[in-house]
């Protein structure tokens, strides 16, 4: 089932997600729904808080579903290592229509549980490292807009507030 994606300003997006206690049928349904929602959006990643569920779960697929081995599911993820720095423009399914250059690690290693509850570790460089950091930020209640400073952040937040007042957000 494709779930609605929450937008910047929704309380669920701005709070820290809780760990998953057990991999149940409900968690498996959430993962399946998140994958379908991510592909339908389309996006390369999606965190559970973006669909209104404050749990530490994210999915990433840089191939947008074209490579069956490209899908990464992380439950209760944590960083093992982050190195380097990259500056690239990114957007977010919860901040549609806005992009900005954000500092991210060049390399990131994340460890978590897969859908069956087995622990696994994935290393990403470039765009995958960026996606890992972006989705981990969602689990901590941070959106890319929150990482911006100065006028760039102010302009985006003002435009979002204006759209919200007009009923278009």
Give the catalytic positions in this structure.
135
The residues with which 100 forms a beta bridge, in sequence order, are: 90
Which DSSP letter does residue 146 get? G
C-alpha atoms less than 13 angstroms from C-alpha of 153 in its C-beta half-sphere: 9
DSSP letter for 67, please. Answer: S
Query: Hunting for tokens 């278009």 — which residue is that?
Result: 168
Nearest to 107 by CA among 76, 130, 91, 88: 130
Distance between start and end Cα atoms, the chain: 23
CA–CA separation, 135 and 146 (whole Å): 14
């Amino acid at each position: 089932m494709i779930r609605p994606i929450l937008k910047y300003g929704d309380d669920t997006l701005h709070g820290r997600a809780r760990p998953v206690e057990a991999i149940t049928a409900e968690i498996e349904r959430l993962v399946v729904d998140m994958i379908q929602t991510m592909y339908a959006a389309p996006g390369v990643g999606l965190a559970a808080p973006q669909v209104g569920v404050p749990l530490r779960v994210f999915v990433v697929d840089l191939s947008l579903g074209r490579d069956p081995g490209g899908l990464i599911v992380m439950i209760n993820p944590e960083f093992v290592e982050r190195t380097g720095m990259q500056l690239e423009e990114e957007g977010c399914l919860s901040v549609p229509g806005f992009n900005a250059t954000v500092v991210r690690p060049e390399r990131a290693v994340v460890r978590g549980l897969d859908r069956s509850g087995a622990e696994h570790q994935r290393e990403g460089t470039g765009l995958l490292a960026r996606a890992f950091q972006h989705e981990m930020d969602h689990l901590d209640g941070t959106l890319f807009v929150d990482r911006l400073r100065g006028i760039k952040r102010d302009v985006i937040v003002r435009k979002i507030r204006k759209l919200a007042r007009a009923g278009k957000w």
